[in-house]
Amino acid sequence: MRNSGLWEDLRGLEHPGPEPGRARTARRALTRVADMKREAAVPGDAPSTDAVLPGDGAVSHPGLGSLLDKVRATLHANTATLLVLDSTRTLLEPLATVGLDRTLRRARRVPIGRGFAGRIAQTRQPVFLTKVDDSTVVNPVLVDHHVRALLGVPVLHGSELVGVLHVGFLQEHSASEEATRLLSEFAAELGSLLHDQFAVEEHTAALTLQRSLLPTAVVAPPGISIAARYVPADGDLGGDWYDVFELPGKRLGIVMGDVVGHGLDAAIVMGRLRSALRAYALDHDDPAEVLSHLDRKLCHFEPGAFATVIFGVSSAPFTEWQFSSAGHYPPLVATAGKPAAAASVRSDRLLGVSPDARRRTTLVPVPVGGFLCLYTDGLVERRPQADGSHRLAVPNNTALLARALSEGGDPEMCCIRALAEVVGDHVADDDIAVLVAHVEPAGGNDEPPAEEDVP
């Protein structure tokens, strides 16, 4: 039976006000975005975790405080606390508590399997505790507050653990099946709503991180013009990225990459790879050597993460490019009015599989007035539909992209035309990144001269 009063309060959490203590943003998403911005040396807001963790009074969201008051009153308890699983899925962190006049900050993390709350998270079963001391609980605040008994239940969304909800009693207390049932009902409602809220906020955080790391404006040196587009997926975000940067010796580097996976974790790996590739490119001229170092970094520090990357380097007049590919689609090369074709770039093993993988650099010529296009799989691949079919096959999409590139124009128009040709009015079910470079002729105009009328 649903607790209608609690359900109405829970629905109010779906559209919280501007207060800074929103659940997932507080703990799992925006804190990690701030950390990643700092690691990648990208300008942004100064990182701050204190603003989003439980502080004095230990209620991170006023709505949650009201909910816990209702839980406490219904169970005739003195305290009520909600802990949530952290991003590592190995620790519980207090999200909100009522009935304790001291903050939980100094002992906010509870390892899974340890103490009262950790045991509930590990077994995913209700626990009633009548001995509350340092041997049974991790959080000293509960002992210092003279809590005599605790009843706790797991907060689940389906089979996924979201956190732990528990109530405390200052007097000796005996548990009942009815009390456990009521607390479990509260936890079930919280699990569903918090899961949905966390998913929305994690998606927002991933998009914020991804957009903060992509160049806001592509600035190219004289002799070449570049445009790029990024279109986020309608569902989970992926780890697609592109980058354009100048290197010593008046060289120019361009990158297109795609981290395997979706969500905030993929976006974080993407940010780390982007920053590391830039650093390696400063010290190594050969694109294959840069990707070799990047592969070793990923295998060592991000085991289990994988990515495809293509990295190219050139210098004026930008008619010869050195490319190295780690399992990525080869670039398309086109001249206005002529069919575009995939460059013969040898594709080596994707990053994250083996730190000793052989990597090669391929020379790619691009004619004056020609176009060079890098893209991710979201532009040419379509996910299977429910009936097992695909909306468009990869060869068809690649042909559409090649056609859009062959029609010429400036890089901005090529990007727009490519997205219109391939995606059209469809909803993007995967991230899409596309970059188009145009090798400009000496006069800056590759249009043939107009014929003069001869009298």
pLDDT digits (tens, 9 = 90+) for 22-31: 333 333 444 4
Contacts of 150 (CB under 8 A, 6+ apart): 116, 127, 128, 129, 132, 137, 142, 166, 167, 168, 169
Highest mean pLDDT among 41-55, 100-114, 261-275, 299-313: 299-313
Burial class (CB in 10 A: 0-12, 13-18, 19+), 36: buried
- 17 in Cβ contact with 64 (< 8 Å): no
The confidence score (pLDDT) of residue 283 equals 96
Sheet of 149-157: strands edge to edge?
110-111, 91-98, 79-85, 160-169, 149-157, 127-129
Please give the DSSP secondary-structure letter assigned to residue 271.
H
Same topology between domain 4-207 and domain 214-439: no
Could you give the CA distance from residue 193 to residue 224 in angstroms, rounded to a whole number? 51
Output Rg (C-alpha) for the chain, integer angstroms.
28
Rounded to 5 degrees, what angle do the CA atoms 128, 129, 132 make?
155
Which band of pLDDT confidence, cut at 50, 70 and 90, is reported for residue 340? confident
What are phi and psi for residue 365, nearest 5 degrees? -80, 140
**Mind listing the pLDDT tens digit for each residue in 118-142?**
999 999 999 999 999 989 998 888 8
Alpha carbon distances (Å) from 127 to 167, 190, 355:
11, 18, 46
Give how far Cα 315 sits from Cα of 172, 223, 369, 412, Å: 78, 9, 15, 21
In this predicted model, what pLDDT tens digit does every residue of 79-100 receive, in sequence order?
A: 999 998 887 788 998 888 888 8
Please report the sign of the dihedral spanned by the C-alpha atoms of residue 229, residue 233, residue 236, residue 239: negative
How does the average pLDDT of the chain come out, rounded? 77
d(CA 440, CA 263): 38
For residues 238 and 433, give the distance between their C-alpha atoms in angstroms, rounded to a whole number: 11
Lowest mean pLDDT among 222-231, 332-341, 356-365, 382-391: 382-391
pLDDT at 412 over 70: yes
pLDDT number for residue 404: 74
Question: According to the model, what pLDDT value does residue 35 have?
Answer: 44
CATH number for region 214-439: 3.60.40.10
What Cα–Cα distance (Å) separates residue 450 from each residue in 88, 337, 338, 368, 447?
64, 16, 19, 19, 9
| pLDDT higher than 80, residue 415 | yes
Identify the top-confidence range among 15-19, 37-41, 63-67, 368-372: 368-372
Pick from 192-206, 306-320, 410-424: least confident: 192-206
Determine the Cα angle at 272 with ends 267 and 277, to 5°: 125
pTM exceeds 0.85 = no
Q: Which of 108, 109, 82, 92 is nearest to 194 (CA)?
A: 82
* % of the chain surpassing 90 pLDDT: 43
What residue segments make up the domains of the chain, in order of their start?
A: 4-207, 214-439
Question: Can you tell me the distance from the alpha carbon of 246 to that of 262, in angstroms, rounded to the nearest whole number?
Answer: 29
Asked whether residue 398 carries a pLDDT value surpassing 80, the answer given is: no
Tell me which of 213 and 281 has the higher pLDDT.
281
Residue 267 confidence (pLDDT): 81
Q: Are 249 and 315 in contact (CB under 8 A)?
A: yes
Among residues 376, 361, 86, the alpha carbon closest in space to that of 214 is found at: 376
Cis-peptide, bond into residue 317, ω within 30° of zero: yes
Mean pLDDT calculated for residue range 337-364: 92
* Residue 189 pLDDT greater than 60, yes or no: yes
Q: Which residues, listed in sequence order, are joined to residue 239 by a DSSP beta bridge?
A: 259
Hey, is 84 helix, strand or coil? strand
Class of the domain covering 4-207: alpha beta
pLDDT at position 226 is 95
